Structure 1
Amino acid sequence: MPSGRAAAGAFHRVLDSVPPAAGAEVMGTGIVSIALSLDGLETISRILLVIAALMWVTLAILVPLRARRDRARFLGDRRTPPALTSVAGTAVLGTRLTLLGWTWAGIAALVIAVILWAVLLWPVLTHWKTPTVGTSLVLTVSTESLAVLAATLAASEHVDWLLVTALTPLGLGLCFYVFVISRFDMRQIGVGRGDHWITGGALAISTLAAGKITAAAKALATFGHGSGALKDLSVGLWVLTMLWLPVLVLAEALRPRLRYDVRRWSTVFPVGMYAACSFVVGSEARIGAITRFARVWVWIALALWAVVFVAMLVRATSVILGSAAPRAPTPTT
């Protein structure tokens, strides 16, 4: 039947359009939801949580089907840093669900995220390319996302050993950041299609991880006076994170990149992460100026999320209807 063939064609176009960095959609939506929750905007936060969960489930269905349809492309994609967005997306969603009180979902997300990270890390590292670009920093983001979720679960369930374990991905993620940024092509700040924002976003999630571990350490009295050093680390990381912000904003002003690209979700995530990490650090360090910044910035994050989300829906509709051919993503998308 013609209608059946048309439906099959539309479905195949959708499969072909799924990029390796698709998990960035969950990351961006999830972190903005977390930031809104930290500001007490629970209703809007939960709406975004539902959207993030639907995105995750959709990708959990589509990615295996895409792998079956084009195994060679799938195997090639899993060797690139964007594949690690599946780790970060899962961990960020798990963090938001844990904050909602769904600890069982957070635990499940942590298990899935750790497995994905362990499976993907080696292929990514053994096929590493330089100079690095924005998506290369997903190596840091995915690792730090494990620390954030582990610390959140440790505080929720009062599990000391999980909190101590969270220190490992925190430190490893920072090492990865130095490794990647020392090889970063600074021209990407001017020509990147959205993923250049991860230069700041990777530090922002490291800041959030340090802040979450600090908060959990205080609640559990795990590290004694060591929690003060963790607080200082989180504040120091926040300062370094903020140094990137004027550079990134100026680059956008000088060279606007208005056409939708899946890598724009790698802008939404850092912008949301700036708000989230500022809420946590401002609270733990008791620095009102940081919290006030977060309360303004969270609305910027929400506005950006809305624009990119609508652009994604328009693009998806075009692909389904066949008015826009699905673009074969490059290894850096």
Structure 2
Amino acid sequence: MPAISQLRAWWAQRPPAAGAAVMATGIVSIGLHLTGYEFLSRISLVLACAAWLALAADFGVRLLWDRAGWLEEACTPPGLTAVAATTVLGTRLSVLGWQRPAEALLALSAVLWPVLLLVVLRHWKRRMPGGVFLVCVATQGLSVLCATLAAAVGPVWLAHTGLVLFWLGIVLYGVAFAHFDVREVVRGAGDQWVAGGALAISALAGAKLIAAHHVNPYLWNDDDSEVLRAATVALLVLAFASYCVLAVAELGWPRLRYDVRRWATVFPMGMTAVASLSAATALGVTGLKGPGQVLLWISVAAWLAVAAGAVHVMITAGTHRPTGSDRPTGPLRSRAPR
């Protein structure tokens, strides 16, 4: 059937960065839930689950029958989207009240995280694109899921584990920034936004840990709580600032051609919105809800635009053989001189 052949042709071109599509769809679902658009949120959740299952199947098939290709992809930071996407989906399921599936996804991501993280860190280079910040995103994604489950089902050790991962994620952000090619801000194909998304998910992790403390007031002492609040506020401010810088760079140096790495633009947009909405509740700052809602609808519009581009590529993939101009050069191949 032509439709199936087109889908297979498109899927064969899929780099590991396509996992960002699950992350983007999942975080949009969370944002829509937080703003009361539950029907749209459930639709997004179904799409995220379907995409995650497809990626999980591809992950397993490559691991079993294409070990060399799997290792090649696992050595790149976008390979960590497997962890980040799993934690985002698990967080949404926990918010929905499905704690057992969320716990299963936490266990799966906890197994994948150290393996993929160590492999990626061993293959780092100088002047890397924005995907380098996925070491922070994956770590903070685990922190968010731990804190969410701690608030929902109560284990204190989950909250403490989430706190350790929160601070580790901040350290990894600093290390990643030292390897980031800042010129990608004005010429990146979309994954440069992960630099801001990593700050936003760090702020979300802080907000979730504060929310867990509201459920169990014995989690942290007063000093720890104040430090956590201050760190969350600082991270949120930095996330907003990076959002503005990246948005201005998009306007000054437009890059309108579709690229699969544009999903890595939608995710940080949605994550900044969700971090703002969650911090508004956790910190008791209602003034953050308005900006969060505005940013959410911007991310929804971006999701629709990128989804339309993906559908167009899928349709055309079955009608002509992809050329170098059609296919992305890969999420980690920086154009900076070595």
229 and 329 in structure 1: CA distance in 2 versus 1, 3 angstrom threshold: same
1:149 equivalent in alignment to 2:145: yes
The one of 240, 243, 263 equivalent to 1:242 is 240
289 and 59 in structure 1: CA distance in 2 versus 1, 3 angstrom threshold: same
Alpha carbons 1:20, 1:329 under 8 Å: kept? no
Alpha carbons 1:16, 1:328 under 8 Å: kept? no
C-alpha displacement at 1:223, in angstroms? 1.0
**Secondary structure of 2:16 counterpart:** coil
CA distance in 1, matches of 2:101, 2:282: 26
CA distance in 1, matches of 2:77, 2:129: 10
The one of 267, 272, 279 equivalent to 1:281 is 279
CA distance in 1, matches of 2:247, 2:329: 26
C-alpha displacement at 1:43, in angstroms? 1.0
2:35 corresponds to which letter in structure 1?
Answer: D
286 and 11 in structure 1: CA distance in 2 versus 1, 3 angstrom threshold: closer
2:68 corresponds to which letter in structure 1?
Answer: A
Task: Give 1:186-197 correspondences, 5 Å limit.
Answer: 186-197=182-193
Alpha carbons 1:163, 1:216 under 8 Å: kept? yes
Look up the match of 1:17.
Answer: 13
Q: Which runs of 5+ in 1 are unaligned?
A: none
C-alpha displacement at 1:69, in angstroms? 6.0
Look up the match of 2:330.
Answer: 330
Q: Deviations over 1:145-203 (max 9, x none)?
A: 00000100000001111101101111111001001112321110000000111111100
C-alpha displacement at 1:288, in angstroms? 2.5
1:105 equivalent in alignment to 2:101: yes
Look up the match of 2:220.
Answer: 223
1:96 equivalent in alignment to 2:79: no
Look up the match of 1:264.
Answer: 262
Task: Give 1:155-234 correspondences, 5 Å limit.
Answer: 155-221=151-217, 222-225=219-222, 226-234=224-232
C-alpha displacement at 1:105, in angstroms? 1.0
Alpha carbons 1:19, 1:329 under 8 Å: kept? no
2:220 corresponds to which letter in structure 1?
Answer: F
301 and 10 in structure 1: CA distance in 2 versus 1, 3 angstrom threshold: closer
Alpha carbons 1:318, 1:324 under 8 Å: kept? no
CA distance in 2, matches of 1:60, 1:322: 28
**Secondary structure of 1:21 counterpart:** helix
Alignment TM-score, normalising by the size of structure 2: 0.92
2:101 corresponds to which letter in structure 1?
Answer: A
2:288 corresponds to which letter in structure 1?
Answer: I
Alpha carbons 1:231, 1:284 under 8 Å: kept? no
Look up the match of 1:138.
Answer: 134
CA distance in 1, matches of 2:7, 2:21: 20
C-alpha displacement at 1:8, in angstroms? 8.8
1:299 equivalent in alignment to 2:297: yes
Higher deviation after alignment, 150-159 or 69-78: 69-78
2:189 corresponds to which letter in structure 1?
Answer: R
Alpha carbons 2:260, 2:328 under 8 Å: kept? no
CA distance in 2, matches of 1:23, 1:116: 14
Q: Deviations over 1:184-234 (max 9, x none)?
A: 211100000001111111000000000000110121111132323322221
1:253 equivalent in alignment to 2:251: yes
Look up the match of 1:309.
Answer: 307
C-alpha displacement at 1:14, in angstroms? 4.0
Alpha carbons 1:18, 1:63 under 8 Å: kept? no
Higher deviation after alignment, 60-69 or 289-298: 60-69
CA distance in 2, matches of 1:210, 1:320: 45
Identical amino acids, percent of aligned pairs: 41
C-alpha displacement at 1:132, in angstroms? 2.4
Alignment TM-score, normalising by the size of structure 1: 0.93
CA distance in 1, matches of 2:328, 2:32: 34
Look up the match of 2:32.
Answer: 36
**Secondary structure of 1:22 counterpart:** helix
User: How many aligned positions are there?
Assistant: 329
2:278 corresponds to which letter in structure 1?
Answer: V
Alpha carbons 2:128, 2:332 under 8 Å: kept? no
C-alpha displacement at 1:65, in angstroms? 3.2
CA distance in 1, matches of 2:185, 2:277: 26
